[in-house]
């Protein structure tokens, strides 16, 4: 009888089109905070007495940019002080093995790019932290580290407008290009959808899994704790991505003839 990891490896071997979905749990092993769950960033009010969803919102950036940037800077410094982990590297390797393996990430840390995931098959649905750009004139600034070390909020050197990162703040729309790409690929269908380290709190994260199941594709989740997705996938593997993914890779051989589905 195959172990859960061997079942997932067999599903990957047999799949032509794969979608991997990642959340904050993947980057937790790089030292970044998760957003919900035990010790989550969004579990309580900030030191300023407002929920983090309010502090990190589009309206707050307009109303009180200094307060919004206080918490944007915390995220930025955490990302700059960390590196991709082996989980990110394994995902990049899986994408090299499968030319139709796509990656949908909620993370804004840029670690997937740094680990080698190809830009053309990477959907950063919440954007990324750099480069900063001026909300008034559009001037860009690539030096995030220097800006975070200076006075906040960062101001444009051309027009003194407030700079911001190309991330999706609360109460803002998702990036049109990313949404278009996601639904374009969903329209083509996937043979395997794998969710890793996400609390699955957003409908655009849950929907790809449910659509895949509806057409008979194999669905799986890797997460230390059960989520709303756990009972809706074909296979749930309890564990950290950092532990599970290297073992998964050791069982994968895309040259193997697929004789049966898991």
Q: Which residues of 81-111 are buried (b: 16+ CB within 10 A; e: fewer)?
A: eeebbbbbbbbbbbbebbeebbbbbbbbbbb
Q: Which two tokens stand for residue 124?
A: 């950063």
pLDDT tens digits for 217-232?
999 999 999 999 999 9
> How many other CB atoms sit within 10 Å of the CB of residue 204?
16
**Within 13 Å, how many C-alpha atoms sit on residue 136's CB side?**
11
Residue-range domain boundaries for the chain: 4-31+84-127+173-250
Q: Is the Cβ–Cβ distance between 180 and 207 less than 8 Å?
A: no
Q: What is the mean pLDDT of the chain?
A: 91
Residue 83's pLDDT band (boundaries 50, 70, 90)? very high
Just list the catalytic residues. 126
Q: How large is the average pLDDT for residues 178-196? A: 97
Among 181, 213, 177, smallest CA distance to 195 is for 213
pLDDT tens digits for 39-75?
445 556 788 889 888 999 999 999 999 999 999 998 8
pLDDT tens digits for 24-49?
999 988 888 665 443 445 556 788 88
pLDDT value at residue 60 = 97
Q: 126: buried, middle or exposed (CB in 10 Å: 19+, 13-18, 0-12)?
A: middle
Domain 4-31+84-127+173-250 class in CATH: alpha beta
Please list, in sequence order, all residues whose beta carbon lies within 8 angstroms of the beta carbon of residue 172, skipping any fewer than 6 positions away: 57, 58
């Amino acid at each position: 009888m195959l172990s859960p990891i061997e079942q997932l490896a067999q599903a990957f071997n047999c799949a032509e089109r794969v979608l991997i979905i990642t959340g904050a749990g993947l980057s937790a092993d790089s030292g970044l905070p998760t957003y919900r769950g035990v010790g989550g960033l969004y579990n309580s009010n900030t030191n300023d007495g407002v929920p983090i969803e309010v502090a990190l919102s589009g309206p707050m950036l307009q109303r009180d940019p200094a307060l919004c940037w206080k918490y944007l800077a915390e995220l930025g410094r955490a990302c700059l002080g960390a590196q991709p982990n082996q989980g990110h590297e394994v995902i990049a390797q899986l994408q090299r093995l499968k030319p139709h393996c796509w990656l949908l990430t909620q993370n804004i840390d840029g670690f997937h790019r740094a680990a080698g995931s190809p830009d053309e098959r990477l959907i950063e649905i919440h954007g990324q932290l750099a480069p900063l750009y001026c909300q008034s004139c559009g001037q860009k600034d690539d030096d995030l580290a220097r800006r975070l070390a200076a006075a906040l909020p960062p101001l444009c050197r051309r027009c003194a407008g407030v700079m911001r990162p190309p991330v999706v703040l609360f109460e803002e729309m998702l990036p049109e290009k990313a949404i278009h790409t996601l639904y374009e690929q969903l329209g083509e269908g996937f043979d395997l959808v794998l969710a890793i380290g996400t609390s699955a709190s957003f409908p655009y994260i849950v929907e790809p899994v449910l659509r895949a199941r509806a057409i008979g594709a194999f669905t799986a989740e890797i997460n230390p704790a059960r989520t709303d997705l756990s009972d809706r996938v074909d296979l749930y593997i309890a564990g950290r991505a950092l532990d599970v993914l290297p073992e998964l890779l050791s069982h994968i051989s895309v040259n193997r003839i697929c004789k049966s589905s898991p």
